[in-house]
């Protein structure tokens, strides 16, 4: 299990994500074997706004990719919040 951090902008702390194995791209879901300029959770094609065949994203593909990213981050955020709640309950029970 490896820990990754996803930026949430300047006003929020980064989201901590634990992923086992090779992480999927936030935009397309394919395994990220080499990190891009956007980090280890975005494949090089998506980082450049391109499909894996090298063609540029259409407006519809761009919108779909960003919706995919938002959905994936929401999923990670839900898992992080659930883990945080469990941790706090354990700490409360111990004290």
User: What are the pLDDT digits (tens) for 25-45?
Assistant: 999 999 999 889 988 999 999
- The CB-side HSE value for 91 (13 A sphere, CA atoms) comes to 6
Task: Give residue 95's pLDDT.
Answer: 66
How many domains is the chain partitioned into structurally? 1
The pLDDT-based confidence of 88 (bands split at 50, 70, 90) is confident
pLDDT per residue as tens digits for the range 47-71: 999 999 999 999 999 999 999 999 9
| pTM of the predicted protein model | 0.79
Strand partners, 24: 31
In the numeric block, the tokens 């280890």 are attached to 40
What CA–CA distance (Å, rounded) separates 40 from 25? 8
Residue numbers of the domain that contains 45 = 2-94
Task: Give residue 43's pLDDT.
Answer: 94
Q: Mean pLDDT, the chain, as a whole number?
A: 89
């Amino acid at each position: 299990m490896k820990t990754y951090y996803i930026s949430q902008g300047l006003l929020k702390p980064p989201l901590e994500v634990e992923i086992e194995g090779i992480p999927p791209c936030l935009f397309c879901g394919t395994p990220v074997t080499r990190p891009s300029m956007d980090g280890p959770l975005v494949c090089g094609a998506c980082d450049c706004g391109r499909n894996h065949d090298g063609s540029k994203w259409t407006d519809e593909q761009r919108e779909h990719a960003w919706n995919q990213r938002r959905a994936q981050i929401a999923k990670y955020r839900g898992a992080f919040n659930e883990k945080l709640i469990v941790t706090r309950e354990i700490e409360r029970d111990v004290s």
